[in-house]
Amino acid sequence: MRNTRSWPRRAAAAILTLTMAAGLGACGDKADGGAAGQSIEDIMKTAQANMADVKSMSYDMTMSMEMKANDETLKIATSGKVDQIVDPITMKLDMNVDMGEVGNMNTAMYVAQDGDKYMLYTGIDAGDGNLVWQKQEMADTSAFDQMDARESFDLYLSSAESFKENGTETVAGAEATRYDGTISEEDLAQVLEASGVMDQFSSLGITGDQLDTMLTDLGDLPISLWISKADQIPVKYEMDMTAIMQSLMGKMMDSMGAGEDDKLDVANVLVSMTVSNINGVESIEIPAEALNAAAA
């Protein structure tokens, strides 16, 4: 028989794991298509420079996660689509989180720059398919920096090591070269800090010493990047974050004094992002219900 009473705690831990994985997953960079005579290091630098020049884009992000506790399994499938205009900063995010029998949630988000201020509009599923909106004025971009695919790709490209070319594939209709590498354990701590993942732990009251302990013995993070051959822009990345998220979650639960009924085994966490419509997003329209929403 299922121990359903323990699932609320487990679901909460699963949501936190999902948030952390999403934060870490929203960091990357770009590379080129393997032009003759270029070293892989030069290819990555060229890709970073090209991505910095992108004016707009769309990207799709997926995350699949499987967590186990005793004989019970929780599977979470997350999908999101983002349209982004660089200047003035304008973004649109549609996201769905499917947690099976635990529930399904849709979220929408818009960002609009107004001079030196930013408006953040968030719509959360009310449970009946309708979104409940609120808006908030922001003084800086920190609340939504992780939505910027350019910054994400840049961080991963500058942190990943030992890239090796691994064939050519078609990604979003473009021929792209695949490069496989890792983010070393030494660099991973910096990536985790920059991605905002560790803030999720701090918000739970976990101390700085405990955070330092959690960042030890994480191992390397494998990552694959696909670089468009035509314009030397990154068009996709994939990461297997299973081992790292299992380590972080296990240490977090121990720090919180979690009992055996609350502990979760992170069996699988896979993240991917695919970029498309480069310089093709001309405008983003914010719906009236978001514009007219109450201030948070």
Helix (H, G, I), strand (E, B) or coil at 157: helix
Q: Percentage of residues in the chain with pLDDT exceeding 70?
A: 77
What are the distances in angstroms from CA 46 to CA 33, 43, 95? Answer: 10, 5, 31
For helices 7-25 and 242-255, angle between their N-to-C axes, nearest 10 degrees: 130
Tens-digit pLDDT profile for residues 113-139 = 989 899 999 999 887 878 999 999 998
**Rounded CA separation 66/13 (Å):** 12
User: Strand 131-138 vs strand 72-85: parallel, antiparallel, or unpaired?
Assistant: unpaired
Is the pLDDT reported for residue 90 higher than 80? yes
Q: Is the peptide bond before 234 cis (omega within 30 degrees of 0)?
A: no
Which residues, at least 6 apart from 145, have a Cβ–Cβ distance to it below 8 Å? 151, 196
Q: Give the Cα separation of 226 and 235 in Å (integer).
A: 6
Closest to 95 in 3D by CA, of 85, 103, 84, 104: 104
Q: At what angle do helices 149-159 and 40-52 cross, to 10 degrees?
A: 160
Tell me the C-alpha distance between 231 and 241, whole Å: 29
Predicted confidence (pLDDT) at residue 38 exceeds the cutoff of 90: no
Residue with tokens 């101390």: 207
pLDDT digits (tens, 9 = 90+) for 195-243: 555 665 665 566 777 777 777 777 888 889 999 999 999 999 998 888 8
User: Which backbone phi and psi does 183 adopt, to 5 degrees?
Assistant: -100, 120
**pTM, whole model, 2 decimals?**
0.79
What pLDDT is attached to residue 186? 77
